Amino acid sequence: MKKYTGLVSCAALLVVGLFAGCATPPPPRPVVVYPVTYDVPVGNTQVSASAGPQNLNVSATQQVTATVGKPLYYQIISPVAVTVTVYERKSSDMPRVMVREFQGTAFTSSLTPSVSGLEFVFSAQESNSAGTLKFTLSDRPLAPGVSQ
């Protein structure tokens, strides 16, 4: 019986040793091929009711993962005047911090983030205006854009 106990112990150690080195690797992070352009719908409608004017402004949001300390270049070209606010966010459970705000129809700029999470918020400036803006991100400088 002692002969089999030693054999079973050796087999168990061999199995444990084999599986100890077989950790499942984490899934690969998605790789973004720059430049990338998003179509972002924005709109603002103002209606009047017996209680007074009501603003139905809906802000579009684009969350971006960036490399800390590496410049991220971006461009916004919009058919309507928009307010674009850029926030840094360390994590989803922490408050966001505003780092930039622009108003107009065309912007080309860059940002070197101190955290990996960025949030771009797009809002139409004028009532009863709507359109789809082009939002481009790149790891290289972008040529200035012109609104359409």
Determine the Cα–Cα distance for residues 138 and 73; give it in Å rounded to an integer: 5
For residue 64, what is the domain's CATH number?
A: 2.60.120.1050
99 domain-assigned: yes
Question: Domain limits at 62?
Answer: 33-138
Question: 32-82: per-residue pLDDT in tens?
Answer: 688 999 999 998 876 666 777 666 667 889 999 999 999 999 999 999 999
Q: Which of 95, 84, 89, 97 is nearest to 66 (CA)?
A: 89
Please list the residues that pair with 52 across neighbouring strands.
49
Per the CB < 8 A criterion, the answer to whether 84 and 145 are in contact is: no
Model pLDDT, residue 120: 96
> Is residue 122 scored above 80 in pLDDT?
yes
Model pLDDT, residue 94: 82
Q: Which of 100, 121, 110 is nearest to 143 (CA)?
A: 110
146 domain-assigned: no
Per the CB < 8 A criterion, the answer to whether 133 and 77 are in contact is: yes
